[in-house]
Structure 1
Amino acid sequence: MKLKKFNFKIVNSTNDLAIKIIKNTDNKSGIVIAEKQKRGRGQYGKKWTSYKGNLFVSIFFQVSLVQLSIKDLTKVNCLLVKKLLSNFYKDKIMIKNPNDLLINNKKISGILQETLFKSGEKFIIVGIGINLIKSPTIKNYLTTNLFDLTGVKITPNNVILKLKKIYESFIPILSEFNIKNLNKNLK
């Protein structure tokens, strides 16, 4: 399966744009990429700080045949992003439920999932933000970025290629996915 790429310089929110694409086109899957978001969103309506050079993408695809709950899909998406991050950082990466990834107890990534129904088909939108070169300041929440951790400046394009490949391999097997063997299934 190939995810169609939708590239933008500046958007309000990649998730909002993915929702518009689903509603207004016949695209069943895709990846919305932005260099900057003006109104990025996090969980529970929190603001997602979007510094240029960090990663802001939303992946959308049909999940009508998928038997997983949204909670289980969140776990799966966290593990897929953890797998992506492990390409760039070799030490421990933790998942903080429900949807944050931490390194050294500092947030490096967040995921915002939303669902949408169109013509009886269910879609999931997976918004992914990763601090590549700059960490936002969040009150009472430590943050980090890959550049500070590795000393290597990783470009969004490099990360997007790997992320796209991970999801293109995973989406076709999602309908027969077994949540009990989660870690084994994602190796």
Structure 2
Amino acid sequence: MRGKLLQLLSQSKDRFLSGQQISDMLHISRTAVWKHIEELRKNGYEIEAVPRKGYRLRYMPNLASTDEIKSKLQTKAIGRHIVYKKEVTSTQDIAHQLVQEGAEEGTIVIADKQTKGKGRLGRPWHSMEEKGLWFSIILRPDIPPQVAPQLTLLTAVAVQEGLERATDLPVEIKWPNDILLRGKKIAGILTEMHSELDRIQAIVVGIGLNVNQQKTDFPEELSAVATSLSMEANGKVFQRSDVIVSVLEKYEHWYYKYLDQGFFPIKKRWEQLATTIGKEITAKTMRKEVQGIAEGITDEGVLLIRKKDGTLESVYSADID
């Protein structure tokens, strides 16, 4: 209800809305309106109240809370149920627990800060308080476990399109799960699965997005390889709720297209957006280096590299230069 109230106040812009108008539109009592207004104020929203005029929103903090997201989100399932925390070890940890408790598909877990954020191969993910977006999505697709890696590629497409729509910045995909902006990492994706033999119980997709960090916010070892939306937009501060809403709406679009039409539309779009396709690269695996032209990906998300001798080599996991 607070999300709906916030939506009304945001849409009215500089106009006052009377307590009775809000009461009528939300079908709640004027006492309930006042209580919700007070809760929003406690969360940092400046809401002006003038006798015989009503309420007007004067200031919105840069939050990615349940109320803020729900006031803007236009989806049927993805993000309709939100678990918001100020601080967690990792949103993945909370999401896995919720899976075991029967959380519905589309549930997202979002936190202002992670103390033990994690990326691919167990690497730590630097998750600053209130500067980025750290969230996990719970999915329950009726697909075989062996095709689950396709959802990592789907996520990359949704994140790229969501970020580009929200910011107009030239976001690109780097195989297997990095999102780049002008050659530096802007986001990462981690996909983890709960399965039983030939059946998927759930897939938890973790996404970390650098939004409003500045260069001094990154540890020295990351400053050369990581960036943020704000840094690449000359210091512009982005409303975090706008960014996540854009990503979630794109996610729902591609997820239901995938369930309806299969992987081919995702594969085609991923190859259009990937910075590596058609270029000469070096793939560094645990055992060797493979050099050649990145030709595309298979339905399993395997990278195909054509070497100088003309042969194709499949690369399942590697760092790309």
Query: Does the 8 Å CA contact 1:23/1:118 hold for their aligned counterparts?
Result: no
Give the superposition deviation at 1:49. 0.5
Look up the SS of the partner of 2:180 in the other structure.
strand
Query: Does the 8 Å CA contact 1:22/1:28 hold for their aligned counterparts?
Result: no
Aligned to 1:169: 253
Give the superposition deviation at 1:148. 1.0
Query: Do structure 1's residue 47 and structure 2's residue 124 form an aligned pair?
Result: yes
Asked which structure has the greater RCO (Cα within 8 Å, sep 6+), the reply is 1
Structure 1 unmatched runs, 5+? none
> 1:75-94 counterparts in 2 under 5 A?
75-94=153-172
Aligned to 2:50: none
Q: Which runs of 4+ in 1 moved over 6 A?
A: none
Aligned to 1:33: 110
Instruction: Quickly say closer, same or farther: Cα 1:181–1:166, change in 2 above 3 A.
Output: closer
Match of 2:192 among 114, 130, 155: 114
Instruction: State which drifts further: 43-52 or 23-32.
Output: 23-32
Match of 1:127 among 206, 217, 239: 206
Look up the SS of the partner of 2:188 in the other structure.
strand
Instruction: Quickly say closer, same or farther: Cα 1:178–1:32, change in 2 above 3 A.
Output: same
How much identity, in percent, do the aligned residues show? 27
1:10-60 alpha-carbon deviations (Å, 9 max, x no partner): 011011111100102342331111000111010000000001121101011
Question: In 2, distance between residues paired with 1:164 and 1:180?
Answer: 21
Query: Does the 8 Å CA contact 1:67/1:175 hold for their aligned counterparts?
Result: no
What do you get for the CA RMSD once the two structures are aligned?
2.6
Question: In 2, distance between residues paired with 1:34 and 1:154?
Answer: 17
Question: In 1, distance between residues paired with 2:176 and 2:186?
Answer: 14
Letter in 2 for 1:38: T
Instruction: Quickly say closer, same or farther: Cα 1:67–1:159, change in 2 above 3 A.
Output: same
Give the superposition deviation at 1:123. 1.3
Query: Does the 8 Å CA contact 2:177/2:189 hold for their aligned counterparts?
Result: yes
Letter in 1 for 2:142: S
1:57-108 alpha-carbon deviations (Å, 9 max, x no partner): 1011102236872332211110110011102333432211111111111000
Query: Does the 8 Å CA contact 1:66/1:175 hold for their aligned counterparts?
Result: no
Question: In 1, distance between residues paired with 2:243 and 2:225?
Answer: 23
Match of 2:180 among 102, 125, 130: 102
Aligned to 2:5: none
Q: Which of the two has higher C-alpha Rg? A: 2
**TM-score scaled by length of structure 1:** 0.86
